[in-house]
């Protein structure tokens, strides 16, 4: 391999919280704005807080990284995450377990997966239809988050990075996608972020979802980038 399998920060957990006395009213105010006014309110009212870790261990066959501090959000969580390589191929399986404490406060949880794929956008699929985010979309459709079938395929001249989610979450690209109303691709599409929790919307589900949650992701590198990727999670 000419590039590493993944970059520093792989699997980092972050929570987005609302800094306001009435947080859901603040979210409604943000949604009602456009352009610079919206960006200013996002900067003022939204805060992304990363989890801290007891120690950063080198990723080996069964390395783990335990989170010792609560995320500094309105609904803190404690958790642990582990990465292990599988057999002798350039492949990792990442598992995140967390315990969200009971709270109706709005927040979003992201897990970050930075890859050495530079400015390339991956191919993904929704309902079995393959597309490239931003370029293969109807005008006016959402570009902050993407509902996918569970995989993202970065086919580069240095090989293929195939990311697979067992839980098929919404994903986003780059930093700070929350309520951004994006129209153009971010400058850092190599940073894939899985959204594993979101009660900002508060529509057809209870805002106070809590308890132990587990999410699993796989990443594999293949030397040849030609042809169709193995995109079914059953292969993993």
Is pLDDT above 50 for 232?
no
**Position 156 confidence tier, pLDDT thresholds 50, 70, 90:** very high
Burial call 211-224: b when 16+ CB within 10 Å, e when fewer: eebebebbbbbbee
Q: Are 92 and 85 in contact (CB under 8 A)?
A: yes
CATH number corresponding to 12-235: 2.70.98
Residue 98, CB-side half-sphere exposure with 13 Å CA sphere: 28
Backbone angles phi, psi at 114, to 5 degrees: -75, 130
Is pLDDT above 80 for 176?
yes
Taking the model in full, what pTM does it have?
0.81
pLDDT in tens, 103-135: 888 889 999 999 999 999 999 999 899 999 998
Q: Tell me which DSSP letter residue 29 carries.
A: H
**Position 227 confidence tier, pLDDT thresholds 50, 70, 90:** low
Other beta carbons less than 10 A from residue 177's beta carbon: 22
Backbone angles phi, psi at 63, to 5 degrees: -65, 150
Structural domain spans, the chain: 12-235
Pairwise CA distance, residues 98 & 104, whole Å: 17
């Amino acid at each position: 391999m000419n590039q590493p399998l993944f970059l520093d920060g792989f699997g980092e957990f972050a929570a987005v919280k609302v800094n306001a006395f009435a947080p859901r009213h603040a979210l409604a105010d943000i949604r009602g704005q456009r352009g610079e006014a919206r960006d200013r309110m996002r900067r003022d009212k939204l805060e992304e807080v990363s989890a801290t870790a007891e120690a950063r261990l080198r990723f080996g066959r069964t390395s783990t990284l335990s989170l010792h501090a609560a995320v500094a959000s309105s609904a803190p969580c404690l958790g642990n995450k582990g990465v292990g390589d599988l057999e002798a191929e350039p492949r990792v399986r990442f598992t995140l377990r967390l315990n969200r404490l009971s709270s109706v406060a709005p927040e979003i949880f992201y897990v970050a997966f930075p890859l050495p794929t530079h400015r390339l956008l991956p191919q993904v699929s929704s309902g079995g239809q393959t597309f490239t985010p931003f370029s293969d979309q109807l005008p006016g459709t959402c570009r902050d988050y993407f509902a996918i079938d569970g995989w993202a395929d970065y086919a580069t001249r240095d090989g293929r990075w195939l990311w697979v989610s067992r839980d098929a979450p919404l994903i986003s690209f780059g930093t700070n996608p929350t309520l951004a109303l994006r129209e153009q691709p971010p400058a850092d599409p190599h940073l894939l972020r899985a959204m594993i929790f979101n009660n900002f919307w508060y529509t057809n589900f209870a805002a106070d979802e809590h308890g132990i949650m587990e999410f699993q992701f796989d990443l594999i590198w293949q030397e040849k980038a030609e042809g169709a990727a193995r995109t079914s999670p059953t292969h993993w």
